């Protein structure tokens, strides 16, 4: 079955196939590879490490002109406590969470429905529709920011959660990712249901969707990460600090007490934490998701 | 999973429709028309309201003097376009965007390839490497900018402190017009290379093992195998990654706006920021819509190129 | 057939229900969160959202003043939001006003009002309601009151005027023998005298006589330039559709003088603003050109510091300044109760602006300035005369504090100050750039 190979090939190959490759005799080369990989990994971890060390410093140590990994007055939770007391980070995290969840949910529902129609139903105007959706993949979101803002003004939606959510649910590329997957599901499975006189909707809900869980998860991951991290549109569509998402809030809202490096890093880490934790738990699924949907374009 | 296998399967599926669902009598067809559009409807509503309409309306706006304050709605024809083509600020920001795209795409592809190749050799603890290379991609642009502004800090920053140990004088990473764009590229590389790396890794692991076995029987070393098997097999992936990367880089805004706000002296201001500033800081929505469409034109050209190349490849 | 349809109908509605309820839940939570403005524990009292762009020394003072106002008014709670100074703040304020759900009240530089009032992004103050709260036109100095109006309506209510002044280190000035019998710096009235004075201080510090950081900061270059330019008695007039009117000789002379200061003896060749301040605070220079708002930094460092308006070097006393003013952003639907609260809040802040003076600003509310308590504030009283000689930016939709226009100034003038291009060329470039702006459609 096509769909099982699609979904299983990645996790199986990333540990199995690689090791089977005959490189054993070049152990010197392999050591060099480990060294290079390790140097890269260290370089890639340094910003995290430095941010973490800074966040656990006192404000005085953080802004001391002598750079230190082990601050003279020891590590402290002060920066995190202050950030929490200011109260914005938990609120923005919640804003990011529910807007991203809503975007993901709506995207999944509307994209799966139309993808099914494009994959299985022969209807008048389907070709034109397909071409229109394919063409829309190339529209870069920044081009829309001016007219969308103006439209949101007309809808009186600026500074409401709707302004963040509604324009972010159109992912033409994801429609095609889903359509391709539906295309691979053998038609035989549906025939029995058709014989029973089941409606399209029932076939879609009871046969196609359950078989499509992996791809739905992949699309959901892709869309959620995108929405969680999106900056430009939420930045344009909201100004009220109680509505801001994490990325926008961190950028826009400043402290009345001047620049505070330890608190900056503490906020940044708190903002980074949710997705990193999710990644640690669902690493395999996320990597699979990105690998399946990534090349479809954004 | 590479895209080519997926699309090949797609084509097969399309040529052999299931017998039970074949379009039959006219009743069937009209029912199909209804259900087809019904399934498409929810998406279509959003598609029309939040994509098609803004595209059309944005073009209309570009022909007006619309302002954020609501003043001056008059149609002024293509005056905004002729003004834009003579606008040194637009050309400069467009130049910055292209410059960023050129100098960011190469490292973003090459480093991703190197990372994937290193992992593909079969290092132990695969998840650890993947985590460290890919984790930054999960961060919001703002977090990345906060990290790097802090590390680039001329007086208190980690990087200048490290360099000073080798007697290298302080660098104004984000303050020096000659350096700032490169600093942005370094931060961007750190942030997004993990995405390309994953795509490469997936593609490499789809290369059949037999290719390597045959080559190693012929006595080909690791280097030869990489250049004679891995790289050629990866060509379709590379083409796609390069094209996607170019399109992504052309849209750059977040990290530049956050780290330098286009400075120093406008040396890093990308065209998207110019659109933002013209429209929102300078109120001139109509004019900035016109610049948006000029920028859109550039994107269409690049996308058309992508389309032609991928078509030629699959043909 | 029918039974299947009803079955599927149920399916659909369940899914819709799920999606709908998730959305609804999110929406409800969001609106409830908006209701309490994101601040903890504000139960029934209305929240007055207040935007400002003050951080650092004066931001701390502002937080304290807001806390005071909140304590004195149990009927409402002011929730402050701080945005980054300059373009980010003004862009977001305009976008929020256009969107119709802006903060109830916001701080705006008086010089920016011409870019907001004509387009209807801010609403005029009601003089009657102000009078009910004890605020009348007589409470403000004439120059400041005049600046608060556009087309006869009062759009901005000044909290202060904050001039660009000269701090000096009294220890260093004393050692250089430059102090008068009253303990203040002696008067100088020509460029040559000023340089001589700076060189005397340099002999004491062995480093520089004067500190002024400006790199990549148009507003900073503009503040000094405009002070010197206005001391020529010259004007700049910006009329859309017409070329900029300015006195080229005065401008070039001012720029040339500025460029000669950065010779690495009188002042460092090229510093950014923070490096300049740090140098002065360290005692490596005797004088600092800076906004009065840096006073808290000096006090914190326990520096022996006094201040004056920038010496009149070209005949006419003048001092670049701006005013932090309160404005009422345009609302989609005005909540009359909240607006009343906003009036009360603003009048309380004005009346309590003595503590604002501690941040180095000159209060605009005259009863405070005339109070004995203010007269005892040093060095504030030593530059309080600035209120009578202040020069706001020339009026235009694109001018003012933190505007793009100041950035354009930097693009042409930085190289003049660094000695890389001629003053006349830099000025002509800036004039051409300004004329280009003036020739474009006016969006306000």
Rounded CA-CA distance C396/C73 in Å is: 38
Q: Which helix (H) or strand (E) holds C4?
A: helix C2-35
A273 and chain B in contact, CB less than 8 A: no
Q: Give the residue from chain C lying closest to B76, CA to CA.
A: C441
Residue A193: enclosing H or E segment and its boundaries? helix A188-195
Terminal Cα distance for chain A, rounded: 28
Give yes or no for residue C29 having a pLDDT over 90: no
Does B5 have pLDDT greater than 50?
A: no
Alpha carbons B95 and B91: distance in angstroms, whole number = 6
| Angle in degrees, CA C116, C119, C120, rounded to 5 | 85
pLDDT surpassing 80 at residue C327 = yes
Question: What number of other Cβ atoms are within 10 A of residue B72's Cβ?
Answer: 18
What is the nearest CA distance from B250 to chain C, expressed in angstroms? 23
pLDDT in tens, C195-239: 999 999 999 999 999 999 998 889 999 999 999 999 999 999 999
pLDDT at position B273 over 50: yes
Of the listed ranges A24-33, C32-41, C62-71, C389-398, the one predicted with least confidence:
C32-41
For residues C52-87, b (16+ Cβ closer than 10 Å) or e, as one string?
bbbbbbbbbbbbbbbeebbeebeebbbbbbbbbbbb
Between residues C377 and B306, the one the model is more confident about: C377
**Per-residue pLDDT at C248 exceeds 80:** yes
What's the rounded Cα separation, in Å, for the pair A54 and A57?
5
Pair of tokens at residue B263: 């400075």
**Confidence check: pLDDT of A265 > 80:** yes
User: What ipTM score was computed for the predicted complex, to two decimals?
Assistant: 0.86
Are the CB atoms for B225 and B216 separated by under 8 Å? yes
Handedness of CA C132, C135, C137, C138 (dihedral sign): positive
Query: How far does C163 lie from chain B, in Å, by closest CA?
Result: 25
Mean pLDDT of C354-363: 92
SS3 content of chain A, % helix, strand, coil (to 5): 75, 0, 25
Q: For residues B115 and B126, is the Cβ–Cβ distance under 8 A? A: no
User: Touching check for B77 and chain C: CB below 8 Å?
Assistant: no
pLDDT reported for residue B134: 92
pLDDT in tens, B68-119: 988 777 888 899 999 999 998 999 999 999 999 999 999 999 999 999 999 8
Residue (of C365, C25, C403) closest to C219 by Cα position? C403
Which residues are CB-neighbours of B311 under 8 A, at least 6 positions away?
none
Distances from the Cα of C13 to the Cα of A220, B54, C16, C340, angstroms: 22, 30, 5, 47
Biggest CA pair distance of chain B = 83
What pLDDT, on the 0 to 100 scale, is given for residue C312?
96
| pLDDT, tens digit (0-9, with 9 covering 90-100), for C133-149 | 999 999 998 889 999 99
Q: Is C325 helix (H, G, I), strand (E, B) or coil?
A: strand
Residue with the bigger pLDDT between B54 and C17: it is B54
Higher model confidence: residue A42 or residue C9? A42
Share of chain C above pLDDT 70, in %: 90
Average pLDDT rounded to a whole number, residues B123-130? 83
> Is residue B179 packed enough to be buried (19+ CB in 10 Å), middle (13-18) or exposed (0-12)?
middle
User: What DSSP character marks residue C78?
Assistant: E
Judged by CB atoms closer than 8 Å, whether chains meet at A126 and B292 is answered as no
Q: Average pLDDT, whole number, for chain B? A: 86
CA distance C184 to C394: 32
In angstroms, the separation between the Cα of residue C42 and the nearest Cα of chain A is: 13
Q: What is the mean pLDDT of residues A221-225?
A: 90
Q: How far apart are CA C411 and CA C218, in angstroms?
A: 8
The stretch B157-179 carries a mean pLDDT of 90
Q: Mean pLDDT throughout C311-320?
A: 95
C199: helix, coil or strand? helix
Instruction: Indicate whether B7 pLDDT > 60.
Output: no
CA nearest B257 in C: which residue? C88
CA distance A105 to C21: 11
Q: Chain A residue closest to B261 (CA)? A: A251
State mean pLDDT over A19-31.
Answer: 60
Q: Which of B282, B286, B287, B291 to mutate to test the interface with C (most CBs of C within 10 A)?
A: B282
CB A146 to CB B288 under 8 A? yes
Min Cα distance A135 → chain B (Å) is 10
Query: Beta C160-169 vs C319-322: how paired, if at all?
Result: antiparallel
Residues A87, C39: contact at Cβ < 8 Å? yes
- pLDDT, tens digit (0-9, with 9 covering 90-100), for A227-260: 999 999 999 999 999 999 999 999 998 888 878 8
Q: How many CB atoms lie within 10 A of CB B95?
A: 13
> Is the minimum CB–CB distance between B12 and chain C shorter than 8 Å?
no
Q: Residues C83, C86, C87, C93: what is their CA dihedral angle, to the nearest 10 degrees?
A: 50
C-alpha distance from residue B81 to each of A142, B74, B250 (Å): 18, 15, 20
Mutate to test the interface with C, among B27, B34, B69, B278 (most CBs of C within 10 A): B69
Predicted confidence (pLDDT) per residue in B33-53, tens digit: 898 999 999 999 999 999 999
Residue range A47-102, pLDDT digits in tens? 999 999 999 998 888 887 788 899 888 899 999 998 888 878 999 999 999 999 99
Spatial separation of the C-alpha atoms in residues B153 and B159, rounded to whole Å: 8
User: Is C32 a residue whose pLDDT tops 60?
Assistant: no
Q: What is the pTM of this model?
A: 0.87
Q: For B67, which residue in chain C has the nearest alpha carbon?
A: C443
At residue A168's C-alpha, the angle toward residues A92 and A293, to 5°, is 105
Q: What is the pLDDT of residue C44?
A: 76
The pLDDT tens digits for C92-129 are: 999 999 999 999 999 999 999 999 998 889 999 999 99
Taking CA–CA distances from A117, the nearest residue in chain B reads B36
Q: What is the pLDDT of residues A145-203, one digit of tens each?
A: 999 999 999 999 999 999 999 999 999 999 999 999 999 999 888 888 888 888 889 89
Is B280–A23 a contact, with Cβ atoms under 8 angstroms apart? no
Q: Is the pLDDT reported for residue B16 higher than 50?
A: no
Quick check: C193 pLDDT over 90? yes
Cβ of residue C337 closer than 8 Å to a chain B Cβ: no
Lowest mean pLDDT among A229-238, B214-223, C86-95: B214-223
Average pLDDT, chain C: 88
The answer to whether the CB of B137 falls within 8 A of the CB of A275 is no
Percentage of residues in chain A having pLDDT higher than 70: 90
Is B264 in Cβ contact with C91 (below 8 Å)?
no
Nearest CB to B283: which of C94, C272, C414?
C94
Please answer whether residues A181 and A212 qualify as being in contact, where contact means their C-beta atoms are separated by less than 8 angstroms: yes
DSSP A225-246: HHHHH--HHHHHH---TTT--H
Q: Which of C244, C246, C269 is nearest to C418 (CA)?
A: C269
Is A69 in CB contact (< 8 Å) with chain B? no
pLDDT value for B17: 45
- Taking residue B307's Cβ as centre, other Cβ atoms within 10 Å add up to 13
Task: State how far residue B102 is from chain C, nearest Cα, in angstroms.
Answer: 25
The predicted structure's pLDDT at residue B25: 55
Q: Residue A21: pLDDT above 50?
A: no
User: What are the tokens at C232?
Assistant: 């020529």
Kindly report, residue by residue over B279-304, the tens digit of the pLDDT.
999 999 999 999 999 999 999 998 88
Give the CA distances from residue A102 to residues A52, A169, C1, C299, in Å, rounded to whole numbers and listed in that order. Answer: 31, 9, 34, 51
Q: Going by C-beta distance under 8 Å and a sequence separation of 6 or more, which residues neighbour residue C6?
A: none
| Alpha-carbon distance C120 to nearest alpha carbon in chain A (angstroms) | 15
Position B250 confidence tier, pLDDT thresholds 50, 70, 90: very high
């Amino acid at each position: 079955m096509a769909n099982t190979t699609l979904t299983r090939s990645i996790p199986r190959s990333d540990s199995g196939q690689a090791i089977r490759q005959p490189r054993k005799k070049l152990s010197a080369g392999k050591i060099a590879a480990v060294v290079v990989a390790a140097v890269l990994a260290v370089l890639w971890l340094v910003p995290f490490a430095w941010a973490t060390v800074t966040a656990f410093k006192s404000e005085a140590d953080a802004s001391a002109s002598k750079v230190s990994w082990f601050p003279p007055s020891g590590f402290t939770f002060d920066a995190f406590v202050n950030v929490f007391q200011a109260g914005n980070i938990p609120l923005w995290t919640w804003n990011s969470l529910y807007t991203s969840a809503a975007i993901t949910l709506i995207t999944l529902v509307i994209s799966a429905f139309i993808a099914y129609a494009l994959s299985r139903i022969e209807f008048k105007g389907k070709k034109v529709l397909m071409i229109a959706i394919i063409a829309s993949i190339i529209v870069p979101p920044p081009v829309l920011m001016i007219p969308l803002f103006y439209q949101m003004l007309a809808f009186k939606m600026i500074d409401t959660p709707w302004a963040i959510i509604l324009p972010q649910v159109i992912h033409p590329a994801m429609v095609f990712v889903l359509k391709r997957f539906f295309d691979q599901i053998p038609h035989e499975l549906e025939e029995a249901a058709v014989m029973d006189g089941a409606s399209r909707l029932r076939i879609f809900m009871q046969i196609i969707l359950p078989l499509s869980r992996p791809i739905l998860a992949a699309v959901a991951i892709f869309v959620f990460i995108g929405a969680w991290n999106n900056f430009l549109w939420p930045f344009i569509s909201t100004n009220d600090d109680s509505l801001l998402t994490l990325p926008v809030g961190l950028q826009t809202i400043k402290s009345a007490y001047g620049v505070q490096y330890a608190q900056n890093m503490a906020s940044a880490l708190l903002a980074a934490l949710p997705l990193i934790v999710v990644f640690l738990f669902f690493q395999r699924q996320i990597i699979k998701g990105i690998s399946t949907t990534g090349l479809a374009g954004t | 999973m590479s895209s080519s296998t997926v699309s090949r399967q797609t084509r097969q599926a399309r040529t052999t429709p299931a017998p039970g669902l074949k379009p039959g009598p006219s009743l069937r067809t009209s029912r199909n028309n209804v259900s087809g559009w019904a399934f498409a409807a929810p998406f279509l509503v959003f598609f029309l309201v939040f994509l098609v309409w803004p595209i059309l309306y944005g073009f209309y706006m570009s022909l007006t003097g619309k302002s954020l304050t609501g003043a001056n709605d008059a149609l002024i024809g293509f005056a905004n376009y002729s003004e834009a083509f003579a606008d040194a600020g637009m050309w400069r920001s467009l130049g910055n965007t292209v410059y960023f795209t050129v100098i960011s795409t190469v490292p973003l592809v090459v480093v991703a390839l190197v990372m994937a190749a290193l992992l593909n050799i079969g290092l132990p603890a695969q998840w650890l490497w993947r985590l460290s290379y890919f984790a930054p991609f999960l961060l919001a642009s703002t977090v990345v900018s906060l990290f790097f502004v802090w590390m680039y800090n001329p007086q208190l920053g980690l990087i200048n402190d490290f360099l000073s140990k080798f007697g290298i004088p302080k660098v104004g990473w984000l303050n020096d017009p000659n350096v700032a764009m490169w600093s942005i590229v370094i931060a961007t590389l750190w942030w997004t290379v993990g995405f390309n790396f994953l795509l490469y890794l997936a593609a490499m692991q789809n290369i059949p093992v037999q290719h390597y076995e045959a080559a190693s029987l012929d006595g080909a070393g690791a280097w030869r195998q990489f250049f004679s098997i891995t790289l050629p097999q990866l060509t379709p992936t590379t083409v796609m990654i390069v094209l996607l990367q170019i399109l992504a880089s052309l849209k750059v805004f977040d990290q530049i706006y956050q780290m330098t706000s286009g400075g120093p002296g406008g040396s890093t201001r990308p065209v998207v920021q110019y659109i933002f500033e013209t429209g929102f800081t300078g109120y001139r929505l109509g004019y900035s819509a016109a610049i948006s469409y000029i920028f859109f034109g550039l994107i269409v050209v690049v996308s058309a190129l992508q389309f032609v190349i991928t078509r030629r490849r699959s043909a | 057939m029918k039974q299947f349809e009803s079955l599927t109908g149920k399916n659909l509605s369940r899914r819709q229900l799920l999606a709908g309820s998730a959305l609804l839940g999110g929406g409800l939570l969001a609106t409830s969160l908006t209701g309490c403005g994101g601040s903890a524990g504000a139960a029934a009292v209305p929240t007055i959202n207040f935007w400002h762009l003050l951080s650092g020394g004066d931001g701390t003072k502002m937080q304290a003043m807001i806390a005071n106002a909140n304590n004195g008014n149990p009927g409402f709670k002011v929730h402050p939001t701080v945005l980054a100074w300059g373009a980010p703040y003004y862009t977001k304020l305009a976008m929020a006003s256009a969107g119709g759900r802006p903060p109830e009240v916001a701080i705006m530089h008086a010089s920016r009002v011409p870019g907001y009032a004509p387009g209807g992004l801010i609403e005029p103050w009601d003089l009657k309601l102000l009078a009910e709260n004890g605020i009348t036109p007589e409470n403000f100095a004439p120059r400041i009151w005049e600046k608060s109006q556009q087309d006869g309506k009062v759009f901005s209510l000044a909290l202060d005027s904050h001039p660009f002044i000269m701090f000096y280190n009294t220890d260093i000035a004393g050692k250089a023998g430059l102090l008068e019998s009253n303990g203040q710096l002696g008067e100088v009235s020509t460029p040559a005298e000023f340089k001589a004075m700076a060189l005397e201080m340099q002999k004491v510090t062995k480093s520089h006589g004067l500190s002024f950081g400006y790199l990549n900061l148009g507003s900073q270059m503009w503040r000094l330039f405009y002070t010197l330019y206005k001391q020529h008695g010259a004007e700049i007039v910006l009329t859309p559709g017409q070329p900029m009117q300015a006195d080229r000789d005065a401008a070039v002379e001012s720029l040339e003088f500025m460029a000669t200061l950065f010779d690495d003896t009188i002042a460092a060749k090229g510093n950014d603003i923070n490096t300049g301040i740090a140098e002065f605070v360290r005692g490596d220079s005797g004088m600092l050109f800076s906004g009065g708002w840096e006073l808290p930094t000096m006090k914190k460092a326990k520096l022996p510091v006094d201040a004056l308006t920038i010496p009149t070097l070209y005949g006419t006393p003048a001092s670049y300044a701006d005013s932090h003013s309160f404005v009422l952003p345009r609302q989609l639907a005005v909540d009359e109760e909240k607006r009343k609260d906003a009036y009360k809040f603003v009048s309380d802040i004005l009346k309590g602006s003595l503590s604002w003076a501690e941040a180095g600003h000159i209060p605009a509310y005259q009863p405070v300035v005339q109070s004995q308590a203010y007269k005892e504030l040093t060095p504030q009283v030593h530059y309080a005369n600035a209120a009578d000689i202040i020069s706001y930016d020339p009026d235009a939709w694109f001018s003012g504090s933190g505007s793009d226009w100041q950035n354009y100034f930097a693009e042409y003038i930085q190289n003049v100050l660094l000695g890389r291009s001629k003053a006349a060329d830099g000025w002509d470039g800036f004039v051409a750039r300004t004329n280009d702006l003036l020739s474009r459609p006016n969006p306000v």
